[in-house]
């Protein structure tokens, strides 16, 4: 646990030391929302949901794509001697989850201010944001490790992650539409939430099983 908290602190310190990376993500976010506002002004439920999750996915790829790519060979060797690979992955996963959840909340706030928000069941929407952020971070963190070991190719990460992100995107779309489809009426989304939980468990399980092999290479 001591190594876990040390690695988690390292991720936080490096993120804020490289302020340009986070600033670039915010610039992309504000620019995208401004273009949507200038184009549509107001959007219907289906369009709002689609645009929200498209922005969330692209912001997630931009934010997590550098997770392992930023590590130099010397730092890889240092981390390898410092802690078990599962601890390294867990620290990066938790930090990336917190980062994505904060960014998704920011997207919701900015998007709602610019074009309004059709969300009626805010508690349910917050839950799907929480689970969606965890699923995205679990998938993208492991894919970032593979891409870094394969030559630090951003193209490779996009190609590998896109098929895995589709179930998360579709499930998030369905649940989000249900939070706004009928004014304040709670719809049965238990099946979709179970799918999201299954995606998270499967992604984490595969990551913790396969990451030590990637790490040793």
pLDDT per residue as tens digits for the range 9-38: 777 777 676 666 677 788 888 888 888 888
Tokens matching residue 171: 């499930």
Query: Is residue 212 within 8 Å of residue 85, measured between CB atoms?
Result: yes
Residue bearing tokens 């078990």: 84
- Structurally, the chain folds into a number of domains equal to 1
pLDDT score recorded for residue 185: 46
Does 11 or 183 have the greater pLDDT score?
Answer: 11
Alpha helices in the chain (DSSP H): 2-17, 19-40, 45-64, 73-82, 85-115, 122-149, 154-181, 190-216
**Global pTM value:** 0.84
CA distances from 18 to 14, 70, 90, 91 (A): 6, 11, 22, 18
How far apart (Å, rounded) are the C-alpha atoms in residues 179 and 183? 8
pLDDT digits (tens, 9 = 90+) for 115-171: 888 888 888 889 989 999 999 998 888 888 787 777 656 677 777 788 888 888 888
Residue 21 domain boundaries? 2-216
Residue 74 CA to residue 160 CA, distance in Å, equals 26
């Amino acid at each position: 646990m001591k190594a876990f908290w040390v690695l988690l602190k390292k991720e936080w310190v490096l993120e804020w030391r490289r302020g340009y990376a986070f600033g670039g993500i915010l610039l992309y976010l504000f620019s995208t929302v401004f273009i949507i506002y200038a184009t549509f002004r107001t959007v219907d439920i289906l369009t709002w949901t689609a645009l929200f999750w498209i922005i969330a996915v692209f912001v997630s790829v931009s934010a997590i794509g550098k997770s392992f790519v930023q590590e130099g060979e010397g730092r890889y060797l240092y981390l390898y001697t410092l802690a078990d690979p599962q601890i390294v992955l867990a620290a990066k996963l938790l930090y990336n989850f917190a980062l994505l959840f904060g960014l998704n909340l920011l997207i919701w706030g900015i998007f709602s201010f610019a074009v309004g928000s059709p969300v009626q069941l805010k508690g349910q929407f917050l839950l799907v944001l929480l689970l969606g952020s965890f699923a995205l971070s679990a998938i993208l963190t492991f894919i970032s490790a593979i891409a870094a070991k394969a030559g630090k190719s951003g193209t490779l990460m996009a190609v590998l992650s896109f098929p895995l992100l589709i179930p998360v995107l579709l499930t998030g779309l369905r649940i989000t539409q249900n939070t706004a489809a009928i004014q304040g009426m709670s719809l049965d989304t238990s099946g979709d939430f179970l799918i999201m939980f299954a995606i998270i468990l499967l992604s984490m399980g595969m990551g913790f099983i396969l990451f030590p092999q990637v790490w040793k290479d």
